[in-house]
Structure 1
Amino acid sequence: MATLVRTSAGTWKAVIRRRGWPTTTKSFRTKRDAEDWSRRVEDEMVRGVYVQRTSSERTLFTQAMRQYLAEVTPTKRPSTQKSDHQKADTLIEFFGAYSLQAITPALVASYRDQRLASKVKPRYRQRSPVTKLVSPGTVRRELALLGHVFTVALKEWGIGLTANPVQSIRRPAPGDGRNRRLRPDEERQLMSALAKHSNPMLRWIVVLALETGMRSSEISSLRTDQVDINRRVVRLDVTKNGSARTVPLSRRAAQVLQEALDHPIRPKGCSLIFFGEPGQDGERRPYQFKKTWVDMKSRLGFADLRFHDLRHEAVSRMVEAGLSDQEVSAISGHRSMQMLKRYTHLRAEDLVPKLDAVGGEIS
């Protein structure tokens, strides 16, 4: 049985001592609340489902999120670390004042619905205000981080929680994926503008994206020891999905890489293919081209074209050229055929001649 003690402050303290369980105490304003709590806890102990909730009631989400960013996030890749911090700001804004115990599936579902109805914040300098809604994919990734915080709290930090509230809710359905293709006239304008740009590295980067389907981070971080011009391959040891792969180079891709290696602007001793100016520590880091890219495509009227769309374009062109799904996935690094399908968008007009060839002539 629980022991109820009246404190000097006028509150009631319930103390439960039961064999096989740690001593559990909690203070209440009224005796009836103390009795109700004691009965519930003792019943849970009898059924073997009792969880000490004191730590989860005292730990605010802000504290848990910051501990996660300090202990777990540093073990991830640099790009993922940056993404974690960005998502954490959004999560703290909504859940920050709640204790972990107070975050219920209903509250998480409310967050999901509010995020899906909210607007995307502008990035860089944009000429027109952004009116798009936050994508389902963005919300899914935020919920994945939220769920992992609770998983770590349960399994590693010993915080008393009965369940992970994120596991009980419905996740937003993934979208159909972007189907933005680069039109021939757009490519001509883009290449013309890139050829006139003062820094040739931007043109080399765009050509590599179109020829190989590599991600922007994979291209910008390329180093000389990863490139074999004679064999026409690039070895990628660090990728988004964690699987190393070797990317074959087309003649055009090999040509721009050779230009980059031979260009007189290349500083001696720099292993980066695409490098920026030295920092305060004297070290050169990858060329940060995103802002220049955004400004250029905006001037050309291609504001809706993202750099990642060049990866989609490259993959689609590989399929159109007759490469098998297995061959394309080996080059692009897609682990599943379903994800590869989301990246492949064939132009209907390009399929017309193939249909004619299959159907033959009408008699």
Structure 2
Amino acid sequence: MPNGIWKIDKRYKGERIQESTGTCDREEAEQYLIHRLEQLRQEKVYGVRPVIQWQEAATRYLIEFQNQPSIWLTAIYLEQLDSYIGDLPLARIDDRSLAPYIKDKLQGGASNRTVNIALERVIRILNLCARKWRDDNSKPWLDTVPMIAKLDEKRASRKPYPLSWEEQSLLFAELPDHLRRMALYKVNTGCREQEVCKLRWEWEIAVPELGTSVFLIPAEFGGRREQSGVKNRDERLVVLNDVARRVIDGQRGLHPSLVFPYGNPDQFGPTAVHRMNDSAWRKARVRSATKWEEIHKTPAHPGFASIRIHDLKHTFGRRLRAAGVTEEDRKALLGHKNGSITSHYSAAELDQLIDAANKVSATDSRAPALTILKRRQG
């Protein structure tokens, strides 16, 4: 009886029943067992539709959609859900049965959006059970799909927080060297986290006319996983301003294939950094927020105290806008889909993008003035 929930483990006419009753009440659990035994009797005697458990549906989904780019992420969520609803019949998957999962995830620090991603997978699978998948008698696995409520993301979501130059200086000073280089590159290119962590030398393309180079991340790039892909399914052009160029030049010779390897630079054994948002990042932001308070005698802005890796991309975009860079050039620099084929840029167009990126290449207050209106806390 894990977590106080009664579980059935019984043999009936040669068939073993192993599933949750979904209740902590013994009397209710016994009534459910009687109900299930009667269902099995009707299945065997009258050919009534068998009861299918969530785990069977989830497994079928993973097999049928194994070629989806995001199936690895779906597998993670389904594995998390399994201990909560894995042995429940499909007809019992609803808000009530999902409530313990939602509660535990939120208490563990997950965002409303993260929980909703899991719920969306549940809804998708239940829809397939009702509309597509059939048993041996051509009956749907599920009669109707319940209305599963998702969490409010707008109220709970944290808004992007672009760094000021002083905040950047304080934060980067607290980062370990390898992470500082990656962060400096990211805030000057607007790359996504995995586009930095897994950056490869083979993606670098020389531009002799300009005496520089760019990176062209292939559309099939997998991010953390083999098939996760570039976000908009296009090649991603990465233009290097002066700061990003110096970072890249400082990485040459450290590894034959990885631009940002982690480990002993004298050995070609290190692997790519799995993610930038690690304990070193989290500890650094705490220390930098403390230093801000020591310097200014006032608490750091909550956005700075909880600064995220993705906020570096927002910082780059906000600085481009403040420097007067056109929307079209901002989209190109940030890797947003705008109908262009990135690999077809001319040298003149690349020169224009490099010039635009260099408008935010300073690392201190000498950069273009950037005023960010922030709501006073407290």
TM-score computed with the length of structure 1 as normaliser: 0.60
- Does residue 1:139 correspond to 2:115, yes or no? yes
Q: Higher relative contact order by CA 8 Å / sep ≥ 6: 1 or 2?
A: 2
Secondary structure in structure 2 of the residue aligned to 1:54? coil
Secondary structure in structure 1 of the residue aligned to 2:272? coil
1:143-182, Cα deviation, whole Å (9 max, x unpaired): 222233335556775452356726x445444326523232
Q: Which has the larger displacement, 327-336 or 236-245?
A: 327-336
The answer on whether the counterparts of 1:246 and 1:331 sit within 8 Å (CA) in structure 2 is yes
Q: 1:291 to 1:229 in 2, by over 3 A?
A: farther
How far off its partner does 1:233 sit?
Answer: 2.1
AA matched with 1:165: V
- Does residue 1:314 correspond to 2:295, yes or no? no
Structure 1 distance, partners of 2:372, 2:178, is 30
For 1:93-108, list aligned pairs within 5 A: 93-103=83-93, 107=94
Q: 1:115 to 1:96 in 2, by over 3 A?
A: closer
Q: 1:187 to 1:174 in 2, by over 3 A?
A: same
Counterpart pick for 1:250 among 237, 241, 250: 241
The answer on whether the counterparts of 2:84 and 2:98 sit within 8 Å (CA) in structure 1 is no
How far off its partner does 1:136 sit?
Answer: 2.7
The answer on whether the counterparts of 1:229 and 1:258 sit within 8 Å (CA) in structure 2 is no
AA matched with 1:257: I
Runs (5+) with no aligned partner, structure 2: 1-12, 14-35, 222-229, 290-303, 339-369
Counterpart pick for 1:148 among 119, 124, 130: 124
RMSD of Structure 2 on Structure 1 (CA): 3.8
The answer on whether the counterparts of 1:211 and 1:250 sit within 8 Å (CA) in structure 2 is yes
Counterpart pick for 2:169 among 177, 182, 188: 188
How far off its partner does 1:253 sit?
Answer: 0.9
AA matched with 2:239: P
Structure 1 distance, partners of 2:332, 2:92, is 46
Runs (5+) with no aligned partner, structure 1: 1-8, 10-26, 39-51, 123-131, 337-344, 350-363
The answer on whether the counterparts of 2:133 and 2:141 sit within 8 Å (CA) in structure 1 is no
AA matched with 2:203: Q
- Does residue 1:75 correspond to 2:67, yes or no? yes
- 1:54 aligns with 49
Secondary structure in structure 2 of the residue aligned to 1:75? coil
Q: 1:163 to 1:252 in 2, by over 3 A?
A: farther
- 1:86 aligns with 76
How far off its partner does 1:96 sit?
Answer: 1.9
Secondary structure in structure 2 of the residue aligned to 1:300? helix
Structure 1 distance, partners of 2:199, 2:143, is 43
For 1:290-301, list aligned pairs within 5 A: 290-301=278-289
AA matched with 2:80: T
- 1:353 aligns with none
1:194-251, Cα deviation, whole Å (9 max, x unpaired): 4xx3xx3322210121111111111111100112354442212221343322122212
The answer on whether the counterparts of 1:229 and 1:254 sit within 8 Å (CA) in structure 2 is no
Counterpart pick for 1:161 among 141, 148, 160: 141
How far off its partner does 1:319 sit?
Answer: 1.9
Structure 2 distance, partners of 1:110, 1:147, is 14
How far off its partner does 1:67 sit?
Answer: 4.2
1:123-143, Cα deviation, whole Å (9 max, x unpaired): xxxxxxxxx6x4331222112
AA matched with 1:62: Q
How far off its partner does 1:307 sit?
Answer: 1.2
The answer on whether the counterparts of 2:130 and 2:145 sit within 8 Å (CA) in structure 1 is no
How far off its partner does 1:334 sit?
Answer: 3.8
Q: 1:307 to 1:68 in 2, by over 3 A?
A: same
- 1:273 aligns with 259
AA matched with 1:285: T
Structure 1 distance, partners of 2:306, 2:263, is 29
The answer on whether the counterparts of 1:213 and 1:312 sit within 8 Å (CA) in structure 2 is yes
Structure 2 distance, partners of 1:158, 1:102, is 18
The answer on whether the counterparts of 2:192 and 2:310 sit within 8 Å (CA) in structure 1 is yes
1:288-323, Cα deviation, whole Å (9 max, x unpaired): 442322232233335511111112212222222223
